[in-house]
């Protein structure tokens, strides 16, 4: 009888492990699985075990492909199973192609005359997943905010970042979930960052992989009204509860979605963006609604309109339909497109809640509030 041995953490058993066990057992007639003890897992992974060791042993032993289960208690990294391996003296030690302890394991095999077999990567029978991804998904929140940006947009894109410049944005409610998404899609509110967070993924890495910036997942995860330093990755300078914005914020849906990655290629005035962001930063430090409105007006007039974006309701140059979008006598303090603009949502600031609510009685306007998670 050819006896096969495999080892690993196997902290949360998933379908990828099952496939590996099947392929390993096909090398012989008996498969022993060694799993790292809770102490070993904590020492080498800095992670608590998902189950007590006796429970985990029972789960592994119940698998049809597994004939024996042993507990790895050795403290030598990569060889926690050494004592059990030397005791059992199996014929084969099977590993995956990405095993980083190959030299140590080959030497161990030589001590008992076992074959060291590297299983080739075969097409996964299931969507690949890791224990880390499973843990992140379990820990993922049930709901997440989206966000509006007031100034500094594009300075969160690494290739456009500027030392000494800022990005100012705010997490908003109503929140979204995997089952309830009360906003339009592709709308400039950081939906991809929220989706990544809800699915337990690294939102910052996902956004940077798309060639855009990190501000969406950064503020959606942090929540609150935030001032970030422009740079390669998010660095938080100031977090405010945003209470001075409560009752003053609304969104306007332009009726047209947009594609932020394509918009990143357009030429734009980064000096004007940095100036507006500096004003917005000062406004947050002072909790000053009027000064924040000034920053938003700069972002709209000196950057977005200069790029050729369509005038928004409230702008005297707006098309007739846009001019009629707001009730007579209601004049917002400021407005700008969210995200990359050229469609999507626009954020509006109003002097008081009565004006905000009057505007939101019209189609395409909706009230929003600053969102701060209690942790």
CA angle 227, 211, 201 (to 5 degrees): 75
- Do 69 and 149 belong together in one domain? no
Query: What pLDDT is attached to residue 261?
Result: 74
Task: Mark which of 101, 130, 159 sits at the end of a domain.
Answer: 130
Which comes out higher in pLDDT, residue 262 or 225?
225
Is the domain of 220 the same as that of 72? no
Cα–Cα distance measured from residue 282 to residue 51, given in angstroms and rounded to the nearest whole number: 50
Q: How far apart are CA 347 and CA 335, in angstroms?
A: 6
Task: Please give the backbone phi and psi of residue 255, each rounded to the nearest 5 degrees, phi first.
Answer: 90, 0
Same domain, 71 and 147: no
One domain for residues 303 and 285? yes
Mean of per-residue pLDDT scores for the chain: 91
Question: Is residue 174 reached through a cis peptide bond, with omega within 30 degrees of 0 on the bond before it?
Answer: yes
Residues 152, 183 within the same domain: yes
Report residue 13's pLDDT band, with 50, 70 and 90 as the boundaries.
confident
Write down the pLDDT at residue 132: 67
The pLDDT, as a whole number, for residue 134 is 67
Owner of token pair 């403290």: 75
Residue 111 pLDDT > 70:
yes
The residue with greater pLDDT, 96 or 124, is 96
Average pLDDT over residues 313-332: 90
Residue 135: inside a domain: no
Taking a C-beta distance cutoff of 8 angstroms, is the pair 16, 60 a contact?
no
Strand, helix or coil at 48? Answer: coil
Predicted local confidence at residue 37, as pLDDT = 94
Distance CA 194, CA 147 (A): 9
Task: Assess whether 112 and 247 both reside in one domain.
Answer: no
Residue-wise pLDDT for 126-170, tens only, equals 666 666 666 666 676 789 999 999 999 999 999 999 999 999 999
Residue after which a domain boundary falls, among 130, 154, 186: 130
Residue 375 lies in a domain: no
Q: What range defines the domain where residue 39 resides?
A: 3-130
Sequence length of the chain is 375
Query: Structural domain tally of the chain?
Result: 2
CATH number reported for the structural domain that contains residue 109 in this entry: 3.40.50.620
Write out the DSSP string of 65-92.
T-SEEEEE---STT-TTHHHHHHH--SE
pLDDT at 374: 78
Look at residue 229 and tell me if it is in a domain: yes
**Boundary (domain end) residue, out of 104, 130, 156:** 130
Q: Is residue 152 part of a domain?
A: yes
Band of residue 354 on the pLDDT scale cut at 50, 70, 90: very high
Residue whose entry in the numeric block shows the structure tokens 């409105």: 293
Q: Is the pLDDT of residue 265 over 90?
A: no
Task: Dump the DSSP string for 259-312.
Answer: -HHHHTTS---HHHHHHHHHHHHHHHHHT-HHHHHHHHHHIIIIIITTTTPPPP
Q: Is residue 5 over pLDDT 80?
A: yes
């Amino acid at each position: 009888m050819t006896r096969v041995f495999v080892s690993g953490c196997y902290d949360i058993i998933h379908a990828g492990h099952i496939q590996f066990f099947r392929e390993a057992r096909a090398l012989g007639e008996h498969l022993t699985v060694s799993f790292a003890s809770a102490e070993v897992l904590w020492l080498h992974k800095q992670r608590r075990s998902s189950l007590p060791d006796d429970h985990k042993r029972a789960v592994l032993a119940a698998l049809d492909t597994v004939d024996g289960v042993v507990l790895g208690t050795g403290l030598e990294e990569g060889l926690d199973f050494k004592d059990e391996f030397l005791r059992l003296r199996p014929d084969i030690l099977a590993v995956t192609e990405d095993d980083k302890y190959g030299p140590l394991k080959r030497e161990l095999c030589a001590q008992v005359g076992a074959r060291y077999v590297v299983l080739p990567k075969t097409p996964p029978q299931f969507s690949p997943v890791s224990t880390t991804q499973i843990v992140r998904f379990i820990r993922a929140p049930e709901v997440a905010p989206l966000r509006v940006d007031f100034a500094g947009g594009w300075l969160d894109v690494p290739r456009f970042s500027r030392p000494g410049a800022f990005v100012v944005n705010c997490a908003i409610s109503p929140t979204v979930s995997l089952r309830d998404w009360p906003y339009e899609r592709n709308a400039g509110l950081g939906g991809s960052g929220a989706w990544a967070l809800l699915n337990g993924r690294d939102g910052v890495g996902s956004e940077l992989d798309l060639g855009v910036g990190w501000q969406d997942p950064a503020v959606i995860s942090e929540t609150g009204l935030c001032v970030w330093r422009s740079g390669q990755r998010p660095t938080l300078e100031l977090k405010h509860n945003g209470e001075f914005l409560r009752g003053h914020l609304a969104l306007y849906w332009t009726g047209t979605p947009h594609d932020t990655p394509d918009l990143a290629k357009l030429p734009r005035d980064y000096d004007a963006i940095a100036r507006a962001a500096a004003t917005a930063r000062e406004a947050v430090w002072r909790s000053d609604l009027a000064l924040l409105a000034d920053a938003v007006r700069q972002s709209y007039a000196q950057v977005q309109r200069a790029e050729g974006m369509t005038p928004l309701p409230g702008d005297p140059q707006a098309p007739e339909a846009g001019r009629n979008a707001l009730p007579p006598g209601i004049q917002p303090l400021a407005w700008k497109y969210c995200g990359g603009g050229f469609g999507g949502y626009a954020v509006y600031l109003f002097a008081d809640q009565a004006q905000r609510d009057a505007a939101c009685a019209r189609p395409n306007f909706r009230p929003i509030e600053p969102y701060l998670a209690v942790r």
